[in-house]
Structure 1
Amino acid sequence: MALMLSLVLSLLKLGSGQWQVFGPGKPVQALVGEDAVFSCFLSPETNAEAMEVRFFRGQVSSVVYLYRKGKDQPSMQMPQYQARTKLVKDSIAEGHVSLRLENITVLDAGLYGCWIGSQSYHQEAVWELQVSALGSVPLISIMAYVDRGIQLLCRSSGWFPRPTAKWKGPQGQELSTDSRTNTDMHGLFDVEISLTVQENAGTISCSMRPAHLSQEVESRVQIGDTFFQPVSWALAVKVLGILCSGLFFGIVGLKIFFSKFQEAWAGTLFMVPAGTRSEMLPHPSWFSSSSPSLQGPEKKVRTGSGGDSGPRDGSPTALCF
């Protein structure tokens, strides 16, 4: 009945020479981060250059964009739409105008309208902006072994509106699941769904589908016998023990090697080549209480005859003091 009345009123207005305002004939869909275009036109074609063209949200007083007296009026816009809108009026003389809304966010979703008026007459059209955000590809992971089965968890983030999340079996049948949803700081949804499956479950899929789109994002995993093979903890402990023992003995061996190497290196510092008169510090073993060199005044120790200062067989010489 209401539809018939609307048609009758429209015909009466057309018959009296008045024009009508038409907007998008269906909801406008846009993805987060993209642009949306709202188009309005007068029927029959009427020059709207001298008219007021107002795009609004929810109610006429909430201005998204305003064109009045042949000029744009950016100061009349709501703050959240400033620097994000552009009125395309190339065909305004034929009664066609379009508004481009840039960088769509989830907060832009809602009802919008176009109001066009002259001094004696005005009309408006209303439509819905549906905003969507495609989230990440679902990630399937194994959480634990429970109830003779394994617990799977499927995660996906960055959706708007909240998607329909499902587990599906090998034949595409829907499986019962537990779900949890969180909202991030940008108003996007993060979804988690869990499922417990038994041995030889076959191919299991996790799918996410937003409300406004037919596009579905899906991931799959093959559940076979490998996931249910028992783990030999005794063997694992033995292997770990062998590795630890090898590491321990390796460290001890290196310590002994470096200790002996340090002693041998330190001993060579106190040796003097044969046939030289270079003075060096005596070997630590010479500093004993019975050493003649420590008794009485300074002495020179000489061996052999003919005044030779040391042996000729290449052995180290005694130091002179």
Structure 2
Amino acid sequence: MVICEHLIGKEVIMITGTGCWCVTLLLLLHRADSERFEVLGPTRAIVAVAGDDIILPCYIKPNISAEDMRVDWFRVNLPDPQSNIRVHLYQDGRDKYHDQISSYEGRTSLFKEELKKGNTSLKLTRVQGTDDGHYKCRVQSKIYYDDATIQVYITAIGSKPEVSIEGQKEGGMGLLCVSKGWFPEPELEWLDSEGVTLSAGPSETDRDYEGFYIVKLKPIVKETVINCFTCRLRQRQLSEQIIMETEFHISSELILVHEEAWRIAFTLSVFVGIVAILAFPIWQWNGLRNDYDVSKVKHIQELEQVKNEHSLQLKILADQLDFVKSRT
């Protein structure tokens, strides 16, 4: 017979048989239900300017203590939400950093005094381009867990477009426009003096170690009446658009100098090519003759060596013959 004792109110009730298991199960279910909680985050995305410190809000409802719970902050890798990267971990009453992604080292922290109030928000310092994305806050007790997802947008205004001359190219003058330190990625375009977009192909895009964009655009322009060109940068940041422009004027004398240099370089390359073609047979003949001369000298040296070896053997035989004659 199974006998169970349960404390109900201030009295101990003894229950036997099947009723014991039923009451135990009901009490376990009641305990699990009483420990259920909801993890809540912000209803809107968080927009942060690069270099600022931000707080990613996350808290438990009802406001029970999270000091003895596990608090996990992840980066959600879209489009695969199951592939998470750890940003911060709090477990067994302390922070743990053994598998924290390196780009977050020294930049994350919880509000320890607020954990007992159910506040599991994360502070992220010196935000950078690589911080842009979705985050998940997961809080787990011994028998229950829940999580919330937060969207973070990072914005960064970079440098004004810098323009320079690359030199004479086939078809005209090569220009270069470069701008650095942007997030999200901006767009570049070149315009002529009348505001018409020039054909320059796609921009070259790169990212620095903090995830900020570096963009380049290289057009080839021809001489115009005023030789004035503009590099324009556009960046869309949520509901607003940023536009920056840099004008660049090229003097006709400079274009003429580069064109003359191009013609001279082309003429020289053609001349060198012709000389190389004409000189090749002579070089080849000299090479063959040199090879023949080297081979001839080598053969004479081999014959001299054989002659010397035979002379030495004949001398040895003569000495032996003289020795035999002297004994007889």
TM-score, length of structure 1 as denominator length: 0.51
Query: Given the superposition, is the C-alpha separation of residues 185 and 144 from structure 1 closer, same or farther in structure 2, using an over 3 Å criterion?
Result: closer
Name the structure 1 match of 2:247: 221
Alignment match of 1:22 (pick from 40, 51, 54): 40
* Post-superposition offset of 1:32: 4.6
Structure 2 counterpart of 1:74, which letter?
K
Distance in 2 of aligned mates of 1:230 and 1:120 = 77
Per the alignment, do residues 148 and 57 of structure 1 end up closer, same or farther by CA in structure 2, a change over 3 Å counting? closer
Instruction: Name the CA distance, whole Å, in 2 between partners of 1:109 and 1:208.
Output: 20
- The structure 1 residue matched to 2:216, chosen from 180, 186, 192, is 192
Separation of aligned partners in 2, 1:219 and 1:61: 40
Q: Structure 1, residues 6-62: CA drift from partner, whole Å, max 9, x if none?
A: xxxxxxxxxx87532122334444455443421102234444344332212335974
RMSD, matched Cα: 4.1
Shift in Å, 1:100: 1.4
> 1:140·1:206 contact (CA, 8 Å) conserved in 2?
no
Matches of 1:50 and 1:131 in 2, distance apart?
A: 33
- Give 3-state SS (helix, strand or coil) of 1:73's partner: strand
Contact 1:158 1:189 in 2 (8 A): yes
**Cα separation, 1, equivalents of 2:170 and 2:106:** 58
CA distance in 2, matches of 1:45, 1:220: 55
- Provide the identity percentage: 27
| Of 104, 108, 119, the match for 1:85 | 108
Would you tell me which structure has more helix in proportion to its own residues?
Answer: 2
Q: What displacement does 1:123 show? A: 0.7
**2:148 & 2:37 partners in 1: Cα distance?**
13
User: Which has the higher mean CA deviation after the structures are superposed, 50-59 or 60-69?
Assistant: 60-69
- Match for residue 73 of structure 2? 55
Paired residues of 1:138 and 1:217 also in contact (CA < 8 A)? no
Q: What SS does structure 1 have at the residue aligned with 2:157?
A: coil
The CA deviation at 1:176 is 4.2
In structure 2, stretches of 5+ residues that fail to align are 1-32, 77-81, 258-328
2:57 is matched with which residue? 39
Matches within 5 A, 1:129-278: 129-143=152-166, 152-168=175-191, 175-183=198-206, 186=209, 188-195=212-219, 196=221, 198-200=224-226, 204-209=230-235, 214=240, 216-221=242-247, 227-228=251-252
**Change in 2 beyond 3 A, CA 1:209/1:185:** closer
Contact kept, 8 Å, 2:206 with 2:214, in 1: the verdict is yes
Aligned pair 1:123/2:146, yes or no?
A: yes
Give the distance between the partners of 1:212 and 1:175, measured in 2 at CA.
28
Structure 1 partner of 2:87: 64
Whole-angstrom distance in 2 between the partners of 1:230 and 1:173 = 23
**Which structure has the larger Rg over C-alpha atoms?**
1
Does structure 1 conserve the Cα–Cα contact (< 8 Å) formed by 2:206 and 2:213?
yes
Q: In the aligned structure 2, how far is the partner of 1:212 from the partner of 1:171?
A: 30
Question: For residues 100 and 230 of structure 1, what CA distance do their matches in structure 2 show?
Answer: 55
Is the 8 Å Cα contact of residues 36 and 104 (structure 1) preserved in structure 2?
Answer: yes
